[in-house]
Chain A
Amino acid sequence: MERDKNFILGVYDDEDVLLDAISKVRGSGVKIHEVYSPFPVHGIDDVLGYKRSKLPIAAFLFGILGTTLALVMQFYMMKIDWPMIIGGKDHAAFPDFIPVTFELTVLLAAFGMVGVFMIASNLKPWGQPRIFDIRITDDKHVMAIDLAVNSSLEESQLSDVLKNSGASEVNFKSFE
């Protein structure tokens, strides 16, 4: 059987039941493909074993880039390229450069991080998500299990594992 095509889905109504279920399902040796929810469920990363996102690091690096560009730009323009005396101040009036430096740091950090987020999560206006169950943007949580990845277990065994974990429904979904 090919991977990433045929899935068994456990549908959950409640986020706390879902969190328990994830631990139970993983505990019984089943590999979960992904869990889909209508809202962010707190603590789901831990039970799924996801590592902390590295996006804050991206934000920090873009922020540093913003600080550097802003300072280089201002010193180059005011001190090197066309020095002018304004209000008797030093050409390189460092304290005066702080506001613009701060703003550009924030701007680059925010846009850089959001850009990385968009790319990492494959978010784009023409993006077509694979929808396992239309209700995951309404009121249901869905746990998707790839049948090919868990081929050591029978479909009926997987179905039992899901039902015992508190799933209100168990469905199958295949993608072309």
Chain B
Amino acid sequence: MHVTSSVREPLITGGKTLKDVTHDISRQVEAKPSLGWLLAFLFSVGVLLLGSIALVATLWEGIGMWGLNKTVGWAWDITNFVWWVGIGHAGTLISAVLLLFRQKWRMAINRAAEAMTIFAVICAAMFPVIHMGRPWLGAYWALPLPNTFGSLWVNFNSPLLWDVFAISTYFAVSLVFWYIGLIPDFATIRDRASGIRKTIYGALSFGWDGAAKTWSRYESVALILAGLATPLVLSVHTIVSFDFATSVIPGWHTTIFPPYFVAGAIFSGFAMVLTLMIVTRKVFHLEDYITIGHIELMNIVIIITGSIVGIAYITEFFIAWYSGVAAEQYAFMNRMFGPYWWAYWSMMTCNVISPQLFWFKKIRTSIVATFILSLVVNIGMWFERFVIIVTSLHRDYLPSSWAMFYPTISDIGVYLFTFGLFFTLFFLFAKFFPVVNMAEIKSIVKSSSEKVIK
């Protein structure tokens, strides 16, 4: 028997039946592309092509095309890398952690959030690969492959190498998790289709038969994958933070980095999920599945993680003072009042102050306010990484080598390229894949919809 407390808000509104769920989600896949989608898609492809000019120029000429110098050897590239990886944290968090906690509201958003994760990780991985300068040789530097140097192996003591393993494992496991969830929905589309479409979705559905035995195995696979993905998602940004925390640069060498980075990643990831879902639900008329209740819950996650990030900023300052290390103290004063003060205060405003507005119920249940604040958070989180990376490097221990970092057109272009890539992939996904997990939604139609079906 299904028993749901009457104080719980319904997760599905509009009195949907199982057939309605199939219809509402599948029709986006089956319909001809709308003009709006086509324009948005072509725009993303345009951005992708424009950005690829900068990418090709960088690969042709070398990393000298970027604004890096002897003092600031890491700037936009690694900022963008950490930013994209951070965005890539929400998807698996939603599908894995919320599955373990039996949070049913995840079901409406996990598919799109996981897709976002996968595309964001692809964008993130671009930067270290490009930064190698000669990416076609990169496999020898990043993977333990036998080589002609007498098998001089990669350095397993280096956090950069741990990152290679962490990011690629995260990508691979997220992809599998996402695809396993897609199989039953592809079968639904297969059974509604005919002709070539039936062949394609038939192949994508892997011959899914919907038998009770298969569902039973499917559920146990989903549960174990969630159990594996939960520590994995926490490990990824932890290891990303080790790239900085294990070095001896003032402002980087702190033990608070792993939890602080993980909270920041979830914070920015949820903001990006909101940005994308608010648009998707509007364009595809999914208001009955992604309700204001879903948006409010995501905003609550943003308040929590945003506040953790805020406390982490303050803790860093306190510890810099308390440590009594002059270089550390200077690094933090320089962040606040140095030449990059504007980046620091943008970060503080966007990440610490703006999410606190979500304490007001009116704001966290307003779609317009949520959309704007989700963009603000994403901008803030980009500045956070920029502040940590550039302000710590540009004035280090040796004042004679102090310098400023100025991005070049290639820096901007390569960042644009990843935006083009991300949105091109996301629009393709939104058109050709079911954006909401139909099978999971159907399993809660009876218990969590507004009107219980008889």
Do A129 and B207 touch (CB < 8 A)? yes
> How many pairs, one residue from A and one from B, have CB atoms within 8 Å of each other in the complex?
191
- In A105-160, the 8 Å CB interface with B consists of 106-107, 109-111, 113-114, 117-118, 120-131, 134, 136-139
B220 at the interface (CB under 8 A from A): yes
Looking at the complex, which one of B2, B165, B207, B212 makes contact with A104 (CB distance below 8 Å)? B165
Contact-residue bracket for chain B: 35 or more
Do B151 and A82 touch (CB < 8 A)? yes
Looking at the complex, which one of B157, B166, B173, B215 makes contact with A87 (CB distance below 8 Å)? B157
Interface-located stretch among B16-24, B282-290, B306-314, B401-409: B16-24
Q: What string of 1s and 0s marks CB contacts (under 8 Å) between B102-138 and chain A? A: 0000000000000000000000000000000000000
Contact-residue bracket for chain A: 35 or more
Do B231 and A106 touch (CB < 8 A)? yes
B51 at the interface (CB under 8 A from A): no
Do A81 and B442 touch (CB < 8 A)? no
A175 at the interface (CB under 8 A from B): no
Looking at the complex, which one of A77, A93, A117, A138 makes contact with B22 (CB distance below 8 Å)? A138
B140 at the interface (CB under 8 A from A): no
Interface-located stretch among B182-190, B269-277, B420-428: B182-190
Do A131 and B191 touch (CB < 8 A)? yes
Q: Which of B161, B162, B192, B210 has the most chain A CB atoms closer than 10 A to its own CB? A: B210
Do A114 and B176 touch (CB < 8 A)? yes
Q: A34-B212, A40-B219, A102-B235 are contacts. A110–B225 as well, Cβ < 8 Å? A: yes
Q: A16-B1, A16-B2, A53-B216 are contacts. A139–B19 as well, Cβ < 8 Å? A: yes
Q: Considering the chains assembled together, what is the distance between the CA atoms of A127 and B1 in angstroms? A: 35
Give the nearest-CB partner of A73 in chain B: B144
Q: Considering the chains assembled together, what is the distance between the CA atoms of A157 and B139 in angstroms? A: 67
A96 at the interface (CB under 8 A from B): yes
Do B232 and A106 touch (CB < 8 A)? yes
Q: What string of 1s and 0s marks CB contacts (under 8 Å) between B204-245 and chain A? A: 101111111111111111001100110110010001001000
Across-interface contacts of B30 in A (CB, < 8 A): none
Looking at the complex, which one of A73, A74, A124 makes contact with B207 (CB distance below 8 Å)? A124
| A169 CB → nearest B CB, Å | 15
Do B203 and A41 touch (CB < 8 A)? no
Q: A50-B213, A106-B231, A114-B176 are contacts. A123–B207 as well, Cβ < 8 Å? A: yes
Do A125 and B206 touch (CB < 8 A)? yes
Do B162 and A100 touch (CB < 8 A)? yes
Q: Considering the chains assembled together, what is the distance between the CA atoms of A38 and B389 in angstroms? A: 49
A4 at the interface (CB under 8 A from B): no
Q: Considering the chains assembled together, what is the distance between the CA atoms of A110 and B169 in angstroms? A: 10
Give the nearest-CB partner of B23 in chain A: A138
| A17 CB → nearest B CB, Å | 11
Do A137 and B165 touch (CB < 8 A)? no
Do A123 and B208 touch (CB < 8 A)? yes
Do A44 and B169 touch (CB < 8 A)? no
Across-interface contacts of B2 in A (CB, < 8 A): 16
Q: Considering the chains assembled together, what is the distance between the CA atoms of A104 and B143 in angstroms? A: 13
Do B152 and A82 touch (CB < 8 A)? yes
Looking at the complex, which one of B188, B218, B232, B242 makes contact with A117 (CB distance below 8 Å)? B218
Do B221 and A124 touch (CB < 8 A)? no
Looking at the complex, which one of A34, A86, A107, A126 makes contact with B157 (CB distance below 8 Å)? A86
Do A99 and B211 touch (CB < 8 A)? no
Across-interface contacts of A114 in B (CB, < 8 A): 176, 180, 221, 225
B446 at the interface (CB under 8 A from A): yes
Across-interface contacts of B232 in A (CB, < 8 A): 103, 106
Looking at the complex, which one of B173, B204, B225, B439 makes contact with A40 (CB distance below 8 Å)? B439
**Between-chain CB contacts (< 8 Å), 6 pairs:** A14-B453, A39-B184, A48-B212, A87-B157, A106-B173, A137-B210
